[in-house]
């Protein structure tokens, strides 16, 4: 068979070149998935390695974080993207709405009912505000921030650094007259301080400064006594403190929140800009280059070409007539008499020529390129493209509404994750002290907080509302949702304004009482109700309602 040859169906012999092409084609198609092809031109050079979660991220965490911080500090797009996500998820005040699980607690006593839960929630909310928004800032171990500011700063670290880390302190020495009302305080930690003692390599039980048990659960955290970049701290950056995750009673000591991309991941560190970091960096450099080119074109818009240079030509010709020529040119250009009214006539000296710079920059393709890059960044960040670019000129109601709803899903997911991982543990520590001091209503036979920590500390967290694109349509939808039992006052107030529905209704009651006392007309009459439902009534009905306004004039129609 060694002398056998392959032939075509028509009898022609198959050449060696055709055999080689056939073999390469067979190799290229030898995998059931194109994604696994190692021989095609598109896939041959793409061979990423398959690593464990912490091995993929841990050794590169410092480089990624340092680059992201630098970009956020110096690039407007990156800074705006982080600020936009921060304002959407946390805003000015991410606050809890206590919702104790009275159904679970009812096993201990029938007094744990909805009425008790409402009273408990109202009192807990008041006490939380007293502690969290204390102007003296005793809630912060360093006395720099209020709790809303701590929560916001922690989330910024999570967005850029990948980790939000805090240590719960109990400082009874601070409590007293004119001092702190509570001993519970929060110490926000820079994620850079969380690392292995002596910068040792990771092991199976110590990764990224986090000590693990046999089930890979965190049991302790190792912190530098000072930031490694603080040259004023002396030897503190090389001293580590070991803090357990929680006390013997389950009270949180270290709170660590991050978004995990894979099972078994011990720390964050990628940040929201990591997938598009290189593109944003290139965009920043391209943007700077275009700006410099435009600036140069603006400065050197036009210039005068002269046939002679004083020094060079004088040396070449050895004549003294040239300086006289240049002096005549200078006198000519300093002469202001060549005017027509207030306008100067453009007249050149003999031998001169006016030349304009070629202002071909910025590139005509730059806006489209920039928009495409920002859309890529917006997709990775989880925001709409107009939110990142702030270009709303070509956005209509339907597209803006669709983009807002899509982005809102990401906002609510991020808020829920952060509230669960970072905010609720802080609230539980505060609530434990408040219950221990007897500041909250509890029925007889109530279990200790330690026994039912999850039931007592259950709460929802509300931040900035979703906002409106068309206020009238949004409010009409809210009214219809409440009327048809598809929504609640709590949900609508939270989504539209980010406030507390009970406070809103209490304020409405105060306003209504004041309006009636002053004899002002009712702004929510039948006509307004019809408009909110989508109709305006007849002209006669409108005139009758206007006449009933007690002399205050006709009502303005709601647009």
For the CA atoms of 22, 25, 30, 31, what is the dihedral angle to 10 degrees? -170
Q: Which two tokens stand for residue 457?
A: 């500390």
Rounded distance between C-alpha atoms, residue 441 and residue 450, angstroms:
17
Cα(251)–Cα(403) distance, rounded to whole angstroms? 41
Which structural domain, as residue segments, surrounds residue 323? Answer: 302-356
Tally the domains of the chain.
3
Phi, psi of 262, deg, nearest 5: -140, 155
* Tokens 């019809």 -> residue: 530
Cα 485 to Cα 170, 479, 488, distances in angstroms: 45, 10, 7
| Interior/surface letters 150-164, b for 16+ CB within 10 angstroms, e for the rest | bbbbbbbbbbbbbbb
Q: How far apart are CA 448 and CA 452, in angstroms?
A: 7
pLDDT of res. 236: 93
194 and 229 inside one domain = yes
Q: 85 and 215 share a domain?
A: yes
Q: How far apart are CA 288 and CA 293, in angstroms?
A: 9
Of 272, 288, 310, which one is at a domain's C-terminal end? 272
Are 31 and 81 members of one domain?
A: no
Same domain, 339 and 234: no
Looking at the structure, do residues 190 and 130 belong to the same domain, yes or no?
yes
Separation between Cα atoms, residue 194 and residue 203, nearest integer Å: 15
Same-domain status, 192 and 211: yes
Are 210 and 146 part of one and the same domain? yes
- Binning the chain into helix, strand and coil, the percentages to the nearest 5 are 50, 10, 40
Backbone angles phi, psi at 480, to 5 degrees: -65, -40
Strand partners, 460: 97
| Length of the chain counted residue by residue | 559
- Measured CA to CA, the distance from residue 515 to residue 513 in angstroms comes to 5
Task: Out of 48, 69, 90, pick the residue that ends a domain.
Answer: 48
Domain presence at residue 14: no
| The model's pTM | 0.75
Same domain, 306 and 166: no
Q: Looking at the structure, tell me whether residues 66 and 24 fall in a common domain.
A: no
Residue 543 domain-assigned?
Answer: no
135 and 95 fall within a common domain = yes
| C-alpha distance from residue 481 to each of 489, 496, 544, 559 (Å) | 10, 13, 30, 21
Each of the 559 residues of the chain gets a pLDDT tens digit; together they read: 455 666 766 677 777 766 666 655 554 456 778 888 877 778 878 888 888 888 888 888 999 999 999 999 998 889 989 999 999 999 988 999 999 999 999 999 999 999 999 999 999 999 999 999 999 999 999 999 999 999 999 999 999 999 999 999 999 999 888 899 999 999 999 999 999 999 999 999 999 999 999 999 999 999 999 999 999 999 999 999 999 999 999 999 999 999 998 898 999 878 899 988 888 888 888 888 888 777 777 776 555 566 655 555 455 445 555 566 666 666 666 665 556 566 665 556 566 666 666 656 656 777 788 888 888 888 888 887 777 877 777 777 777 777 777 788 889 999 999 999 999 999 999 999 999 999 999 998 899 999 999 999 999 998 887 766 667 777 777 788 878 877 787 777 777 666 677 777 777 888 888 888 888 887 766 555 555 555 545 555 555 555 544 444 333 433 3
Any domain includes 25 = yes
Dig out the tokens for 328 from the structure: 């005549």
In a domain, 77, yes or no: yes
Domain annotation covers residue 450: no
Asked whether 190 and 227 are in contact (CB, 8 A), the reply is: yes
- Radius of gyration of the chain, Cα coordinates, nearest whole angstrom: 35
- Picking from 382, 300, 293, the residue whose alpha carbon sits closest to that of residue 86 is 382
Does residue 509 sit within a domain? no
As a whole number of angstroms, the distance between CA 492 and CA 468 comes to 12
* Domain co-membership, 208 together with 340: no
Domain presence at residue 29: yes
- Is position 107 within any domain? yes
User: Which of 51, 57, 54 has the alpha carbon at shortest distance from 206?
Assistant: 54
pLDDT at 151: 97
Residue 472 has what pLDDT?
A: 74
Q: Which of 340, 356, 372 is the last residue of a domain?
A: 356
Are 27 and 80 members of one domain? no
């Amino acid at each position: 068979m060694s002398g056998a040859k392959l032939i075509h169906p028509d009898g022609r012999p198959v050449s060696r070149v055709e055999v080689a092409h056939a073999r390469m084609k067979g190799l290229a198609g030898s995998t059931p998935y194109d994604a696994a092809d190692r021989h095609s031109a598109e896939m041959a050079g793409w061979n990423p390695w398959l690593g464990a979660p912490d091995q993929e991220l841990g050794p590169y965490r410092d480089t990624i974080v340092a680059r992201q911080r630098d970009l956020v500090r110096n690039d407007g797009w990156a800074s705006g993207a982080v600020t936009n996500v921060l304002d959407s998820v946390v805003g000015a005040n991410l606050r809890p709405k206590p919702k104790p699980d009275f159904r679970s607690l009812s096993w201990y006593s029938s007094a744990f009912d909805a009425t008790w839960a409402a009273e408990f929630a109202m009192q807990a909310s008041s006490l939380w505000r007293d502690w969290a928004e204390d102007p003296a800032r005793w809630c912060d171990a360093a006395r720099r921030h209020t709790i809303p500011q701590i929560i916001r700063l922690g989330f910024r670290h999570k967005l850029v650094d990948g980790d939000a880390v805090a240590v719960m302190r109990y400082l009874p020495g601070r409590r007293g007259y004119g001092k702190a009302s509570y001993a519970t305080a929060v110490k926000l930690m820079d994620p850079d301080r969380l690392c292995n003692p002596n910068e040792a390599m990771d092991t199976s039980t110590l990764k990224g400064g986090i000590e693990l048990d046999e089930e890979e659960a965190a049991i302790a955290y190792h912190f530098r006594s000072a930031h490694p970049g603080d040259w004023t701290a002396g030897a503190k950056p090389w001293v580590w403190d070991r803090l357990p995750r929680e006390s013997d009673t389950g009270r949180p000591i270290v709170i660590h929140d991050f978004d995990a991309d894979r099972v078994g991941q011990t720390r964050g560190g990628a940040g929201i800009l990591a997938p598009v970091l290189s593109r944003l960096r290139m965009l920043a450099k391209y943007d700077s280059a275009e700006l410099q080119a435009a600036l140069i074109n603006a400065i050197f818009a036009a210039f005068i070409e002269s046939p002679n240079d004083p020094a060079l030509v004088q040396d070449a010709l050895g004549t003294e007539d040239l300086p006289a020529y240049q002096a005549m040119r200078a006198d000519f250009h300093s002469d202001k008499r060549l005017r027509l009214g207030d306008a100067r006539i453009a007249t050149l000296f003999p031998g001169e020529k006016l030349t304009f710079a070629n202002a071909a920059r910025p590139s005509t393709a730059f806006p489209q390129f920039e928009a495409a890059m920002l859309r890529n960044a917006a997709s990775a960040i989880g925001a709409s493209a107009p939110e990142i670019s702030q270009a709303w000129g070509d956005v209509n109601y339907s597209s803006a509404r669709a983009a807002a709803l899509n982005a809102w899903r990401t906002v609510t997911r991020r808020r829920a994750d952060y509230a669960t991982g970072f905010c609720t543990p802080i609230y539980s520590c505060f609530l434990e002290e408040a219950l221990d001091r007897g500041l909250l209503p509890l029925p007889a036979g109530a279990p200790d907080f330690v026994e039912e920590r999850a039931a007592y500390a259950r709460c929802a967290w509300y931040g900035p509302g979703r906002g409106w694109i068309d206020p009238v349509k949004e409010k009409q939808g809210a009214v219809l949702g409440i009327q048809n039992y598809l929504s609640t006052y709590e949900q609508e107030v939270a989504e539209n304004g980010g406030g507390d529905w009970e406070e809103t209704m209490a304020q409405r009651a105060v306003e209504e009482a004041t309006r009636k006392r002053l004899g002002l007309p009712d702004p929510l009459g039948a006509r307004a109700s019809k408009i909110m439902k989508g109709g305006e009534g007849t002209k006669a009905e409108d005139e009758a309602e206007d006449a009933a306004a007690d002399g205050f004039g006709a009502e303005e129609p709601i647009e």
